[in-house]
């Protein structure tokens, strides 16, 4: 993650397949929020096709704030930002 003044940017977070659907990301994110409780804005970025991540972010109360096209070296993908 990146911390800029009172904003946190989180991208490329992943959970090992052996630990998926066990609440690991949710607990780590709650810990992050507790440790940086002075932050006012959290931005979470993921690929649009990453439905499990989108569901977790929405479960945590985040909503889509923007969609971006990003051209990677091997393919063009659509990313979404949750706020």
Q: What is the pLDDT of residues 18-65, one digit of tens each?
A: 988 899 989 988 999 899 988 888 888 888 888 988 999 899 988 988
Q: 14: closest CA among 45, 59, 58, 60?
A: 45
The predicted pLDDT at position 66 comes to: 84
CA–CA gap between residue 41 and residue 7 (Å, rounded):
5
Q: Return the structure tokens found at 62.
A: 């985040």
For residue 15, count CB atoms less than 10 angstroms from its CB and return exposed for 0-12, middle for 13-18, buried for 19 or more: middle
CA dihedral 8, 14, 18, 19 (to 10 degrees): 20
The predicted pLDDT at position 74 comes to: 54
């Amino acid at each position: 993650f990146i911390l800029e003044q009172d904003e946190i940017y989180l991208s490329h977070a992943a959970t090992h397949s052996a630990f998926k659907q066990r609440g690991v990301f949710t607990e780590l994110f709650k810990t992050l929020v507790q440790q940086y409780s002075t932050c006012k804005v959290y931005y979470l970025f993921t690929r649009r096709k990453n439905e499990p991540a989108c569901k977790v972010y929405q479960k945590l109360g985040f909503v889509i704030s923007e969609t971006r096209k990003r051209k990677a070296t091997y393919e063009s993908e659509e990313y979404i930002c949750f706020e």
